A and B are shown apart, each in its own frame.
Chain A
Amino acid sequence: MVKDIQEALLKGKKEDVEKLVDRALSSKMPTARILNEGLIAGMERVGIMFKNNEVFIPEVLVAARAMNAGLVKLEPFLVRDKIQPKGSVVIGTVKGDLHDIGKNLVAMMLRGAGYRIIDLGIDVSAEKFVSAARENKADIVALSALLTTTMIQMKNIVETLHSQGLKIPVIIGGAPVTREYADEIKAEGYAADAASAVEEVGKLIAR
């Protein structure tokens, strides 16, 4: 049954995922198994296929939509069974920048991988990133920028986090951003695309 959930999710079949999750719950399958071996495993496969250019943005979005539908079904049981997310990620596009398609994809992929996502949206100030990271006890702060003039905000956010004693790893991404820039501003992580972001977040949390 978990394989069926994975397959339905891969194909973006939202109603099928909902039915299959209901059926799994009715059969008394443990909630954690439905989540990890069904939904998350399905999105992991989507992530791998996305990285390998076997699926593209439309397919990832419908898979994420199906995943969210499955999570909605599972939510009360996750709470009942006290199943915790893998970690919490505060994510947003930096101040002065309104681009969000890349950031939204990363958020979806991370949610699909079992992380709790606090999406601050676009044009987010350093102060807002820091307070959200503190309030939500974030494990990762993820920053997106599409312009060379706004990516400098990333340095500001890293410095503000450090100056406030928050030792939270920061991962950055966006068209003008590079690994070298991440090193320069002392951001711990960098991802060139949404699929890599999930891997990178996993490594940073495991450290």
Chain B
Amino acid sequence: MTSRELVKRTLEFSSPARIPRQLWFLPWASDHYPEELAQIQKRFPDDLLTSPSFYKKMPKTVGDEYSPGTYIDEWGCIFKNRQKGIKGEIKEPLLKNWGELDKVKVPRERLSLDLEKVNDFCRSHDQFILSRSCARPFEQLQFIRKPGNLFLDLADRPTELFCLIERIHQFYCEEMELWARTDVDALVFSDDWGGQNSLLISPALWRKMFKPLYEDYVDIARRQGKYIFMHSDGYIMDIIPDLVEMGVDALNSQLFCMNIEELGRRFKGTMTFWGEIDRQYLLPYGTTEEVRAAVRKVKDSLYQDGGVIAQCEFDVGAKPENVAAVFLAWEELSYSL
């Protein structure tokens, strides 16, 4: 069975031969633990890969996204960074006031996707391929307005906010339509909606302003026969029913910010849980036995003839032995499927 088939069986709850896996890592990990990271990747190769972005015209950025200093992304948003190996923060908004709305230019170079090169990549790999494009309207709004300003905007709701959302969303839809025409297996969208213990905005506001955007992305995927994956950090229990309802196939979330047993009771068998194993405490500070126990807990709560992907992130501060323990534990659990 190829990795692609393994992941599809997982998504379809059709008893995959083993639990598929994927390791995410920040440059911090490859800077600090290059050998350990390489060993983990060799021992536990990924079953899911993200397609490279093959653009005919490269988007314009300035600086290095993961280096100290200043980085300007393809939208013109300016990030400041003090730490090597992680992404920086917006300190000044691109859009300081609504009179400057025309300053926001969507990065149209990302629409110069070379579909044939993407398809060649898909054909030459047995893994399940995810699109490189990642629609993230809430995050992009924060980058453009700066987070504090955007939260005030969401309370005040000026007309210009909706114009901006529409502009961003139209671009993301165009981009997703392009990727949907390739041979990738899944499209991806992402936005971090959770704080440590609650959503960042009310569920009602989320449903009114952002759910319709995500429904469009799901619709694009469905029309082209693609799976649809979503990432969202933080506590997001309140919107998971909506994600299930709209047909998200797989969700990457911080399970350990939520009650995992409750997640299982309510959502096991309705959607695939694409990780994770806790990167706030367990991976940096836990013992390997605690990590293994966490993996068992996730499997016991969420696995139902599939529906679980062994994913974790080798993030700042994580111990390599704990990251390895995650995949070893999942491998051992796979024997008893």
Contact = CB atoms under 8 A, between A and B. Distances in A.
A62 B152 contact: yes
Interface string A29-64: 000000000000000000000000101111101100
B88 A58 contact: no
Nearest to A104: B148
A206 interface: no
A159 interface: no
Interface string A96-134: 111111001000000000000000001100000000000
B200 interface: yes
A65 interface: yes
Given A98-B82, A98-B88, A99-B89, A61 B148 contact: yes
Interface string A143-175: 000011110000000000000000000000001
Nearest to A54: B202
A58 B154 contact: yes
A1 interface: no
Nearest to B315: A148
A62 B197 CA distance: 21
B197 A58 contact: no
B82 A192 contact: no
B302 to A, nearest CB: 23
B316 A147 contact: yes
B83 interface: yes
B34 interface: no
A124 to B, nearest CB: 12
A97 B88 CA distance: 9
Interface string A78-102: 0000000000000000001111110
A147 B317 contact: yes
Contact of A12 (B155, B199, B200): B155
B25 interface: no
B197 A57 contact: no
In which size bucket is the chain A interface?
Answer: 20 to 34
A99 B146 CA distance: 12
Contacts of B195: 57, 193
Contacts of A61: 148, 151-152, 155
Given A98-B88, A192-B196, A176 B202 contact: no
Interface string B197-241: 111111001000000000000000000000000000000000000
B60 interface: no
A192 B280 CA distance: 13
B317 A148 contact: yes
Contacts of A123: 82
A175 B152 contact: no
A99 to B, nearest CB: 6
A136 interface: no
A162 to B, nearest CB: 24
A176 B283 CA distance: 11
Given A58-B205, A96-B82, A149-B316, A176 B281 contact: yes
Contact of A147 (B86, B91, B148, B151): B86
Given A56-B202, A58-B155, A176-B280, A147 B196 contact: no
Interface string A1-24: 000000000001000000000000
Contacts of B82: 96-98, 123
A99 B90 CA distance: 9
Contact of B200 (A57, A97, A99): A57
B197 A193 contact: yes
B281 A178 contact: yes
Give 8 closest A-B pairs by Cβ, nearest first: A148-B317, A58-B155, A98-B89, A62-B155, A58-B154, A53-B198, A58-B151, A57-B151
Interface of A: 12, 53, 55-59, 61-62, 65, 96-101, 104, 122-123, 147-150, 175-176, 178, 192-193
Interface of B: 80-83, 86, 88-89, 91, 147-148, 151-152, 154-156, 195-202, 205, 280-281, 284, 316-317
Given A57-B195, A98-B81, A150-B83, 9 more contacts: A62-B156, A96-B82, A96-B83, A98-B89, A100-B89, A122-B91, A148-B316, A176-B317, A192-B196
